[in-house]
Structure 1
Amino acid sequence: MTSPDTLSSRYGRTPGTARRTRTIGIIAAVAVAIVFGLWLWWGGLLEAPAQFEAKDTGHTIESDSRVSVRWQFTAEPGTPASCAIQALDSTFGIVGWRVVDLPPSDQNTRVFTESVLTTERAVTGLIYRCWLT
Structure 2
Amino acid sequence: MTTAQELDERYGRTRRRRAPWIIGGAIALLIIGAFSWMTVAQSMASVDADDLGFELVDEHSVNITFQVTGVQGKDVVCAVEALDEEFGVVGWKIVKIEAGDSHSQARSVTIPTVSEATTGLVNTCWVA
* Alignment partner of 1:100 out of 89, 95, 99: 95
Q: Cα 1:131–1:60, aligned 2, differ >3 Å: closer, same or farther?
A: same
TM-score by length of 2: 0.67
C-alpha contact 2:45 2:70 (8 A) present in aligned 1? no
Q: Which residue of 1 aligns with 2:57?
A: 62
Cα distance between partner residues in 2 of 1:74 and 1:87: 21
Give CA deviations for 1:81-127 in whole Å, capped at 9, x if unaligned: 10000000001100001000010000111110000000000000000
Q: Which residue of 1 aligns with 2:70?
A: 75
* Alignment partner of 1:126 out of 109, 121, 128: 121
AA in 1 matched with 2:89: I
Identity of aligned residues (%): 29
AA in 1 matched with 2:111: V
Q: Which residue of 2 aligns with 1:13?
A: none
Unmatched runs of 5 consecutive residues or more in structure 2: 1-30
Deviation at 1:45, TM superposition (A): 9.6
Cα distance between partner residues in 2 of 1:117 and 1:62: 10
The 3-state SS of whatever aligns with 2:115 is coil
Unmatched runs of 5 consecutive residues or more in structure 1: 1-34
**Within 5 Å, which residues of 2 pair with 1:20-35?**
none
- For these two proteins, the number of residue pairs brought into alignment is 120
Q: Cα 1:89–1:48, aligned 2, differ >3 Å: closer, same or farther?
A: closer
TM-score by length of 1: 0.65
Superposed CA RMSD in Å reads 3.4
Q: Cα 1:41–1:105, aligned 2, differ >3 Å: closer, same or farther?
A: closer
